[in-house]
Structure 1
Amino acid sequence: MEQFDQSLLHKFQLNQCTPEEYERVLEWFTTPAGREYLDSVMTQDLDMAKPDIMMSSSQSDQLYQRILDTTGQEPLRYSRSRWFTGFKVAAVLSGTLLLAYGGWRVYNRHRNTVIQTAYGEVRTVVLPDQSEVTLNGNSTLRYANNWEGTGDREVWIEGEAFFSVKPSAVPRSFQVHTASKMNVEVLGTTFNLVDRHGHMQVVLNSGKVRLHSNRTPAETITMQPGDLVEYKEQVRTKVKNHTDTQRYSSWKRNSLQFENASFAELSQLLEDTYGVTVEIKDTSLLHQEFTGTVPSQQMEMLLDGLSQLFHLKVSHVDNTVIIERKTN
């Protein structure tokens, strides 16, 4: 039998797969090896089954065929009697094929919309509950198309985004999952979130959020308006109160505000948001701090603003930005 990722199968059985992982497992179930695996697990379930869970053959066959139709498989052939098939279906319904059917339904329900912004692009997305997410350049937002029911509203973010979350008519939390394995739980609020290179930053403008880390031991932080929390590789590095929240989301207003920022931080921001390579000729600039505001609508306008504000020579050659001190 073809070997498959056993850890992924285990996650599938525990209903812990992402939609992409569900799709991968369900596709494997349609292969001969996947069908053989299901057959073997079904047989094991049958051996452990008790007569009191047995159902009528007609009902069993209908449910069995429904599951097979859902997962796109051909019926499995058995040489045993019809009552055995009905009994086996009962085991299936409490075992792996039911997980496959449930997994398909979870995957279908969570079929995702994925939106990715280009370098330098700012885009606002309206979610199914009318909450709004404004994406900065080089950022990715993923969310399920169907938010019906009473389950959590969930989105996945990589990059930088500003969230304006609508309160739900029924008690439903809003969950933001990040690549840094940090989760933000929201009830109704506005906040800016950055998650790049294992570094995550949340600045809360209004409302209340709770941050949940997946590290051991787990940590939960409840943020109030004006708070800033940063994590690096899931380790909390900074907590600030009464922060100027508008500065962190200034990119939404086509400007960048810096306060005691280093040119090393500026270099990383330009590379992440605009997709350029930054060369700083004078390394003494890397640790020099500066404060100021520059326009960010267009790359050339941004570079010109940096040049004038900090009395530097800033040039853009191909996809490289060169920053150096002026000689006069």
Structure 2
Amino acid sequence: MEFLDPSLLHKYEHNQCTPEEYERVLEWFSTPEGREYLDAAIMRELESEEPASLMPSSQAADLYQRILDTTGQEQLQHRRNRRFTGLKVAAMISGAILLAYGGWMFTGRQRSTIFHTAYGEVRTVVLPDQSVVTLNGNSTLRYAGTWDGDSQREVWVEGEAFFSIKPSAVPRSFLVHTASDMNVEVLGTSFNLVDRHGRMQVVLNSGKVRLHSSKTPEETVIMQPGDLVEYKEQVRIKVKKHANPQQYSSWKTNNLQFENVSFAELAQLLEDTYGVKVEIKDTSLLHQEFTGTIPGQQIDMLLSGLSQLFHLKVNHVGNSVIIEKQN
């Protein structure tokens, strides 16, 4: 029997695979051993007493049917029809079923391409229309299809990315979806986008973009170069102001420019981008603001620059960073 590395299945389930690793998992799902594994995993979840997660019944049933159709689980479908009511199936969309659904999404008619950067990594991606996306550390970019003909250009982003959009020869909008349910619609422009912790921020370098909410389409903002717009999901606060765009995209050139930034904001940036746990010993530093430029290619270089520029004691051991005032 052909087995697959369990750690690779774990990465697949948590959407952490590289495109090459996704291919390996999906190829294994097409083998008899992979189908047997998928069959058993789904049956275990269906037979459990507690549903793993809930969604509207019509959506769940449709999702389940597509999984069956695209994984060739005819025998499983027969047993499901015989042993379970539609309501229970609709209620029990589990991690294993979502695994299969991920396979359906990846191998469907419009193949998805996914890029994910490690902590501290900066990566440049050229899209099918020759637009360029630069991903900051701990960020994900996904797009579907080849964008042939007049198909819409759409990408999904989590984390931080800088976009340089190539104008289309034919009228085609470019749409960026975020986890915060705010969409960025552009027609040839460049901008920096951050989407983390329920906070979405866009800084426009050139061109024009339209922001609108998936939940409230009437909530629309037209941005001009130099505009900064920020949405905070929890309280739906919208902030719009004029900013220096280069400051917010300086990470692309391995520098970090700060202007009136608090140490609390810096600590969050370090954790999000470099994957460290930051502890600020002196709480009076949390709200203290600072301005300056620090090399940001490697975290140790960044911390050294931070220490020298602001006369701080910075201790970096393993995954922990401790910042305190010098005596």
Q: TM-score, normalised by structure 1?
A: 0.71
**Which residue is 2:309 aligned to?**
309
Is the counterpart of residue 287 in structure 1 residue 265 in structure 2?
A: no
Correspondence 1:141-180 to 2 at 5 A? 141-180=141-180
CA distance in 2, matches of 1:147, 1:38: 38
**1:189–1:209 Cα contact (<8 Å) kept:** yes
**1:23–1:107 Cα contact (<8 Å) kept:** no
Do the aligned partners of residues 183 and 26 (structure 1) sit closer, same or farther apart at CA in structure 2, a change above 3 Å counting? farther
Is the counterpart of residue 240 in structure 1 residue 241 in structure 2?
A: yes
SS at match of 2:149: coil
CA distance in 2, matches of 1:320, 1:285: 18
**Which residue is 1:30 aligned to?**
73
**Which residue is 1:7 aligned to?**
56
CA distance in 2, matches of 1:321, 1:106: 38
Do the aligned partners of residues 240 and 323 (structure 1) sit closer, same or farther apart at CA in structure 2, a change above 3 Å counting? same
- Shift in Å, 1:11: 7.4
**Which residue is 1:322 aligned to?**
322
Percent identity, please.
67
Do the aligned partners of residues 27 and 214 (structure 1) sit closer, same or farther apart at CA in structure 2, a change above 3 Å counting? same
CA distance in 2, matches of 1:106, 1:120: 27
Q: Deviations over 1:31-90 (max 9, x none)?
A: 446468899xxxxxxxxxxxxxxxxxxxxxxxxxxxxxxxxxxxxxxxxxxxxxxxxxxx
CA distance in 1, matches of 2:265, 2:105: 44
- Shift in Å, 1:111: 1.5
Q: Deviations over 1:263-297 (max 9, x none)?
A: 00000000000000001000110011111110001
Do the aligned partners of residues 244 and 12 (structure 1) sit closer, same or farther apart at CA in structure 2, a change above 3 Å counting? farther
CA distance in 2, matches of 1:317, 1:199: 29
CA distance in 1, matches of 2:216, 2:228: 22
- Shift in Å, 1:26: 3.8
Q: TM-score, normalised by structure 2?
A: 0.71
Is the counterpart of residue 251 in structure 1 residue 242 in structure 2?
A: no
CA root-mean-square deviation: 2.8
Is the counterpart of residue 111 in structure 1 residue 154 in structure 2?
A: no
Gaps of 5+ in 2: 1-42, 83-103
- Shift in Å, 1:169: 1.1
Residue identity matched to 1:317: V
Do the aligned partners of residues 6 and 156 (structure 1) sit closer, same or farther apart at CA in structure 2, a change above 3 Å counting? closer
Do the aligned partners of residues 260 and 144 (structure 1) sit closer, same or farther apart at CA in structure 2, a change above 3 Å counting? same
Q: Deviations over 1:85-116 (max 9, x none)?
A: xxxxxxxxxxxxxxxxxxx7996232211111
CA distance in 1, matches of 2:153, 2:61: 21
When the two structures are aligned, how many residues end up with a matched partner? 256
**Which residue is 2:8 aligned to?**
none
- Shift in Å, 1:158: 0.5
Q: Deviations over 1:109-150 (max 9, x none)?
A: 322111111111101000011000000001011112421132
**Which residue is 2:206 aligned to?**
206
CA distance in 2, matches of 1:208, 1:11: 38
- Shift in Å, 1:324: 0.3
CA distance in 2, matches of 1:130, 1:176: 16
Do the aligned partners of residues 26 and 247 (structure 1) sit closer, same or farther apart at CA in structure 2, a change above 3 Å counting? farther
**Which residue is 1:92 aligned to?**
none
CA distance in 2, matches of 1:8, 1:116: 32
**1:22–1:107 Cα contact (<8 Å) kept:** no
CA distance in 1, matches of 2:197, 2:220: 22
Do the aligned partners of residues 188 and 35 (structure 1) sit closer, same or farther apart at CA in structure 2, a change above 3 Å counting? farther
Do the aligned partners of residues 8 and 160 (structure 1) sit closer, same or farther apart at CA in structure 2, a change above 3 Å counting? farther
**1:28–1:34 Cα contact (<8 Å) kept:** no
